[in-house]
Structure 1
Amino acid sequence: MNAQGEVLNELPAEKTSPGGGPDLPVLDADAVTVRQGKPFTVDSRDGTGRWRVNAVPHQAPNGPLDAAFNTPVNVVVAASLSQVDDIVNEIRSISATVGSVLLCVLTSVGWLAVRSGLGPLTRIEETAAAIAHGDLSRRVPTLAGPRTETGRLTASLNGRLVQIETAFQAREEAEARMRRFVADASHEMRTPLVGIKGYTDLYRMGALPTRESVDETMERIARESERLGRLVQDMLLLAKLDESNPPAQSAPATPAPYPLDLAPMDLRTLAIDALHDIQAMAPTRSVSLTGPDEGKAASAPALADEARLRQVVSNLVGNALNHTPSDSGIRIGVGSLDGRAVLEIEDTGPGLTADEQERVFERFYRADTSRSRSTGGGSGLGLAIVHALVTAHGGRIELRSAPGEGCRFRVLQPQLRIES
């Protein structure tokens, strides 16, 4: 190009250039000088491509060319960007394809991750629905590690569900015990009441013609009345103990808030009195006073309600006398064992089976079915009262027995430390 921007020569020709060659702006001497040799991009003449262009001033050399170029010229070099654009377009196409595939993959992975993360929450929802329909045994499956938030939530919920199920079971058991207690109490009270009513009907009908028959009937009415009175007293005592004691399955470690007249006492005194009572009530029986597990009887100081513990010992002695043959021996043990005051009653009777031992402290339960209500058997409340009173003192009662080996009831009370 000359200084006015007119094309003097062009290589290659326009027909062979991509897009008809570059669509150059006016490149006179001033325009070339301003550009300072910096490349720039222009479109092709037909608008289908792009060209990279650089223009620099050039002085023709001395020689034959001087005749043709007797003035300064500008040399313009242009390179087509068609291949570059094709590569860029291909890269864009590949990038778009890869990006779309990657987006789909990431979306799928994210969906699976969210689904996996929400899976435990779905299980929690299903478990809650099952519990709402009454299935308290359902638990949330452990689908996450214990250190994750979901794992900790699952463990916490399962712990709460165990507590709820336990509470419902305890309530159902308490209601069942109450229904059984009311039914058994009604039956027990009906027996002496029927006897009293029968004797009074005989008297009113004139079926007691002699003074002796009247006196005998009055004695029977008195005995049935005393039996009914004892039954009512026992039931009232158990009702009071129920207000302060937990269920029999879990004896407390400290005394329950039952109104006891606590005072220092020695269990050995109760043991000696029980020995004398047995000798008076059953002179033919063999009875001995020893320490716990044989040995020598010793002092067993405790802080207790003496009247209530006497009732405990009386019930245990009565149980041994009433449910063993008349020739069975009885041993009374008293002393200290492992920091506790101990008093035990052991007999050599027929003993109890494992099933009977599990139920022996239940109310109105009788292991000896041969001694029914009609034959003068007990009410079945004696050992239940023993358990409740010992528990109220903060102690516990243990039973060791086997068929043919007798029974040993051991009362363990917190031992009272006596300062020297």
Structure 2
Amino acid sequence: MRRLSLRTRLLLLTSGLLLAGLTLVSAVVAENLQRYQLDRIDRQLRSFTDLVSRVPTTGPPTTADPRARPELLDPALDLVGSPSLVYLDSAGTVVGGLHSTQLNDATLPSRDNLRTMRADGTAVELPAADGSGRWRAVARPTVGWDGRVVAAAPLTEADATIARLRTSSLVSGALLLVLLTAAGWFALGRGLRPLRRIEQTAAAIADGDLTQRVPALASPRTEIGHLASSLNTMLGQLEQAFADRAASEARMRTFLSDVSHELRTPLFGIKGSTELYRMGGLPERTDVDETMRRIDLEATRLTGLTEDLLLLARLDEAPDGSLDPTPMDLRTLATDARHDLRALDPSRPVELTGPGGAGSPGPAPVHADEARLRQVVTNLVGNAAAHTPPGTPVRIGVGTAYGRAVLEVADDGPGLTAEQAGRVFDRFYRADRSRNHAGGASTGLGLAIARSLARAHGGDVELETAVGEGACFRLSLPLLADD
């Protein structure tokens, strides 16, 4: 059965149920018809025996020879529904009777069976003397003398009617079963067509085409429609999951390549300096001092890079695990950021305003780790100083906007393209994509760390920029609750 198709199994099941139903209906109809005919014959026999038994006589009535007037006797017996009438005395001996001329004695009920009948009007079934058929008989006591009268009718016609009914039911049922089975085959084929479409879609997806979707095969309120909708949702999630995995693998490869390069550069510098010293290439003390200074710079750069990577790893694993939050105000960080910018470039104008450049600085109370937020602001300020020409004005805005505490670092520099703005928070991303940067220069982790720290506090760092219109980095954090 498991090797058969779903269409064949459904068809066999429905055909079996249909066959069982037709058989049951045929049996019930035949049984009811047979019972009806027996009841009808029994009523006729009881009525006839009641009528005959009440005729007052002093002995068995005289019965004429049935062969004398068959044209009168046979229709009369058929009319009352009793082709055979028998009188029995008290000893059970047949003392008279008559029957249709169309019957012979061999086809009548045997006299021994007639003697055993009870004269209470109960209808009984008796076999013919020669076993050729069945009879229905009723006995009543006579009036005026001690005897019984028995009326009997053959069941030949009733049995023939039942046989014809069963034959017609069998033939019509077989034809109906064949027709409905053929109709069911085509109906199931049409009904299962959506499942075949789903199967084809699944096969295409199994071959690697994740863009395939199940077409709208039926109304979403039907089982097939609901299944198609659920499958499309699942397929969309699978496609997105595979795309995310591919993108994650691509980012990981890029990340490992960048990490390898960033680690290799200072390590090669340190190793080259030590090889030069070992080969005697530093004869003067001043040469040794300069080489040690370069080694110290590369080691410092390597240490900072390692610490940044460890911080990002901790933030990825447990964003709030390394925080020590306390109540504070972002205005403190904004004031310190203005002093840091002036120290880095005294010629650079620095303005301290409210969010969006409107008004004066406002309060921005938050519950945060001040040291980590200071690291965020330092990265934002250092980014503005490193990627804008000297003397470019910078605005630092702080206050409350849209129900959140906000600190902005905006510059009037060259700005970024949309593609650069979309990747500026990626790790190791630099807008110029140059790997040849001086020691201590940015490794492309500052903004990634800033965003990770902001999100660990329940906030975020956003960028608004356009080519030629500068850039505005906005740190937003949840406000400190009033209590």
Shorter-chain TM-score range: 0.7 to 0.9
- Please tell me whether residue 281 in structure 1 is matched to residue 355 in structure 2: no
1:167 Cα offset (Å):
2.2
SS of aligned partner of 2:283: coil
Match of 2:73 in 1: 30
Match of 1:387 in 2: 451
Match of 1:155 in 2: 229
Match of 2:389 in 1: 325
Aligned residues: 338
Match of 1:182 in 2: 256
Match of 2:32 in 1: none
1:172 Cα offset (Å):
2.3
Measured in 1, the distance between the counterparts of 2:392 and 2:235 equals 51
| Equivalent AA in structure 1 for residue 307 of structure 2 | Q
SS of aligned partner of 1:398: strand
Q: Pick from 313, 326, 329: which aligns with 1:263?
A: 326
Contact 1:343 1:412 in 2 (8 A): yes
| Equivalent AA in structure 2 for residue 343 of structure 1 | L
Match of 1:336 in 2: 400
Measured in 2, the distance between the counterparts of 1:372 and 1:321 equals 19
1:371 Cα offset (Å):
7.8
Q: Pick from 331, 337, 361: which aligns with 1:297?
A: 361
User: Which moves more between the two structures, 112-121 or 142-151?
Assistant: 112-121
Deviations 1:85-105 (A, max 9, x none): xxxxxxx9xxx99x96x8877
Contact 1:5 1:29 in 2 (8 A): no
Contact 2:420 2:431 in 1 (8 A): yes
Match of 1:413 in 2: 477
Q: Pick from 422, 427, 432: which aligns with 1:368?
A: 432
Deviations 1:168-195 (A, max 9, x none): 2222222222221111100011111111
Cα distance, 1:222–1:375 mapped onto 2, change above 3 Å: closer
Measured in 2, the distance between the counterparts of 1:417 and 1:184 equals 42
The answer for unaligned runs of 5 or more in structure 1 is 7-25, 44-91, 245-255
- Pairs within 5 Å for 1:110-149: 110-149=184-223
Deviations 1:290-343 (A, max 9, x none): 111012111101111111111111111111111110021111111000100001
Measured in 1, the distance between the counterparts of 2:433 and 2:74 equals 128
Measured in 2, the distance between the counterparts of 1:367 and 1:302 equals 32
Contact 1:191 1:373 in 2 (8 A): no
Deviations 1:113-161 (A, max 9, x none): 2112111211222222223233222222220110101111111122222
Measured in 2, the distance between the counterparts of 1:293 and 1:28 equals 126
Q: TM-score, normalised on structure 2?
A: 0.64
SS of aligned partner of 1:146: coil
Measured in 2, the distance between the counterparts of 1:348 and 1:152 equals 55
1:375 Cα offset (Å):
6.9
SS of aligned partner of 1:373: coil
Contact 1:4 1:28 in 2 (8 A): no
SS of aligned partner of 1:313: helix
Match of 1:220 in 2: 294
SS of aligned partner of 2:192: helix
Percent of residue pairs bearing the same amino acid type: 55
Measured in 1, the distance between the counterparts of 2:259 and 2:434 equals 20
Q: Give me the CA root mean square deviation.
A: 3.1
| Equivalent AA in structure 1 for residue 363 of structure 2 | S
- Pairs within 5 Å for 1:46-61: none
Match of 2:52 in 1: none
Measured in 2, the distance between the counterparts of 1:371 and 1:299 equals 41
Match of 2:373 in 1: 309
Contact 2:406 2:476 in 1 (8 A): yes
1:380 Cα offset (Å):
0.9
| Equivalent AA in structure 2 for residue 197 of structure 1 | K
The answer for unaligned runs of 5 or more in structure 2 is 1-64, 84-101, 103-167
Q: TM-score, normalised on structure 1?
A: 0.73
Measured in 2, the distance between the counterparts of 1:186 and 1:139 equals 41
Contact 1:371 1:377 in 2 (8 A): no
Measured in 2, the distance between the counterparts of 1:329 and 1:380 equals 23
Measured in 2, the distance between the counterparts of 1:204 and 1:32 equals 144
SS of aligned partner of 2:209: coil
SS of aligned partner of 2:327: strand
User: Which moves more between the two structures, 112-121 or 219-228?
Assistant: 112-121
SS of aligned partner of 1:188: helix
Contact 2:297 2:439 in 1 (8 A): no
Cα distance, 1:377–1:293 mapped onto 2, change above 3 Å: same
Deviations 1:234-256 (A, max 9, x none): 11111222224xxxxxxxxxxx5
Cα distance, 1:127–1:371 mapped onto 2, change above 3 Å: closer
Measured in 2, the distance between the counterparts of 1:284 and 1:36 equals 136
1:166 Cα offset (Å):
2.1
1:407 Cα offset (Å):
0.6
Deviations 1:46-93 (A, max 9, x none): xxxxxxxxxxxxxxxxxxxxxxxxxxxxxxxxxxxxxxxxxxxxxx9x
Cα distance, 1:170–1:212 mapped onto 2, change above 3 Å: same
Q: Pick from 411, 419, 428: which aligns with 1:355?
A: 419
- Please tell me whether residue 242 in structure 1 is matched to residue 316 in structure 2: yes
Cα distance, 1:28–1:108 mapped onto 2, change above 3 Å: closer
User: Which moves more between the two structures, 268-277 or 123-132?
Assistant: 123-132
1:265 Cα offset (Å):
1.2
| Equivalent AA in structure 1 for residue 256 of structure 2 | V
Match of 1:58 in 2: none
| Equivalent AA in structure 1 for residue 354 of structure 2 | G
Contact 2:314 2:322 in 1 (8 A): no
SS of aligned partner of 2:70: coil
Measured in 1, the distance between the counterparts of 2:304 and 2:79 equals 126
Measured in 1, the distance between the counterparts of 2:322 and 2:441 equals 30
